[in-house]
A = this chain, B = another copy of it.
Amino acid sequence: MRSDLPQIYTVLSPALLKYYDISDSIVVIIDVLRATSTIAAALYNGAKEIIPVDSVEECIRIGNESGCIMAGERDGQIAEGLQYGNTPFQYTPEFIKDKTLVLTTTNGTRLLHMALAAKAQSIITGSFCNISAVSDYLLAQNKNIILACSAWKNRVNFEDTLFAGAVINRIKDHFQYNCDSTGIAENLYQLANGNLFDFMKENNASHYHRLMGFGLEADIRYCLTMDNANVLSIYRDGRLIAG
């Protein structure tokens, strides 16, 4: 590895973000099941912008003030007071084109706000749905990268780690890393060998198990498909927009 190349770090849980200096890095927020997949779908289908917020209350407040679409789930159900959930299938072009979506999620939004507070140089969101847009952007920028997994209540999960590994696998020749989490993620991705759904199933991944219990197999399959909503999602002034 050449020592003049920019660095890649992988942060497997939001609770670990503080142990990395992210101020000179692009931070990729990863919440594969399902926040960053739904964000990609909405932007790909023409949403004007997405405002990520931490709480249902703030979601309702912003939604009522501006008349935008209010969405978010808690425990797998549309949260009380909101109109729509966190499934990518909701955000068709007919539904979302030119609209503003205010979205509350737990793990992903909190991580994004942590990255902002830690003064990330820039923030994008990533999922398998827009992996090529993410990888191409990272290659073009040629800056240090933090692949930041949203995990589940700070517990490391398979799908976000797999996505980090997939990105590393695509871009590693143009970066250097001295980060075991980065190596672990890439090994895991290679082990899945292109069969992400089956790998999650065989390993009884906790989120696979949880979402199957809600009858959401189609959501899982969508969120594990490469480039089905291939648009860059970049954070600017409180909003995620198509880059």
Residue positions of A touching B, CB distance < 8 A: 1, 12-13, 15-16, 19-20, 152-158, 161, 178-181, 183-184, 187-188, 191, 203-207, 209
Count of chain copies: 2
Which chain B positions have C-beta within 8 A of A180?
A: 152, 155-158, 161, 203, 205-207
Whether B158 lies near A184 (C-beta < 8 A) is yes
Are A156 and B184 in contact (CB-based, < 8 A)?
A: yes
A207 proximity list for chain B (CB < 8 A): 180
Do residues B187 and A156 form an inter-chain contact, with CB atoms below 8 A?
no
Complex contact A184–B188 (CB within 8 A)? yes
Asked if residues A178 and B155 are in contact (CB atoms below 8 Å), the reply is: no
Could you tell me if B183 and A203 are in contact, using CB atoms closer than 8 angstroms? yes
Pair A161/B178 contact, Cβ less than 8 Å = no
Determine if A155 and B16 form an interchain contact, defined as CB atoms under 8 angstroms apart: yes
A1 to B206, CA, bound (A): 14
